[in-house]
Copies of this chain bind each other. A is one copy, B any other.
Amino acid sequence: MKSEKITSPGPPRRWYEDACAAAHALDLLGERWALLVMRELIFGPRRFSELRASLPGISANVLTQRLAGLEAAGVVARRRLPPPASAQVYALTEWGMESEPIFQALGRWAARSPLHDPTLPFSAASLLLSLRTMLDAGRAGELAARIGFRLGEERYLTRLEAGQIAIAAGPVEGADLVLDGAPAVIAAAIYGGQPLEALEAAGALRVEGDRALAARFLTLFPLPPKAGLEKG
């Protein structure tokens, strides 16, 4: 008789057979799109369609698979919203939230890449995450401020204090400064050296509140030098 094809009882997915914890992290999060899905969840729960919209190029079935995989890994939890809105949302678990240093390490490293193209689409979560990643605590010094962001439909209130940035989704009321524009535009001001005035004149950005604070804020996020190519 022919030998039956055994759907191996162990790992249905492909695992690295490696005790290294970093390799295990890649077992859990290393599939294509998985980390980007997590990135979009890091400032709060999101609906399926919101995730799809902020991840240009992901297809519905892959997003379904990734969410299921991340849920099985204990990284994402599915929540049903209270009765009024009967929609479902996906949220990071507490442990999932602790993945933020992974994004910071990846982002800090890739900021030196000669191939990095900052003109591609830029999600709100990416921008906020990049602020926390690239903030130069030395330059921030003792500066303390509440800075709000209006990014499309999304609202975030950030608190800069003691060289750190706390970020919360929600209304920007009471902020000392509010920046209103597409994530890519705000990134152009912070990382691309585009003058605020030019962006405002072009109608791409609105600055409300303390303009001196805005000018100072933009200087707090220096980029590292690009890596040079090395001879073989």
Q: What residues of B have a CB within 8 angstroms of the CB of A111 in the complex?
A: 21
Q: How far is the CB of A112 from chain B (nearest CB, A)?
A: 6
- Count of residues in A whose CB is under 8 Å from the partner chain: 68
- Residue contact A121 to B19, C-beta cutoff 8 Å: yes
In the complex, A198 has a CB within 8 A of chain B: no
In the complex, A115 has a CB within 8 A of chain B: yes
A123 to B228, CA, bound (A): 30
Question: How many monomers of this protein are in the complex?
Answer: 2
- Whether A123 contacts B18 in the complex (CB less than 8 A), given A24-B115, A26-B36, A98-B112, comes out as yes
24 pairs, CB–CB < 8 Å, chain A vs chain B: A17-B120, A18-B36, A18-B55, A18-B120, A18-B121, A19-B118, A19-B121, A20-B36, A20-B107, A20-B123, A21-B110, A22-B107, A22-B129, A23-B39, A26-B36, A73-B113, A73-B115, A74-B113, A93-B227, A95-B230, A98-B109, A98-B112, A102-B102, A105-B105
What are the nearest 3 A-B pairs in CB distance?
A95-B227, A20-B126, A25-B110
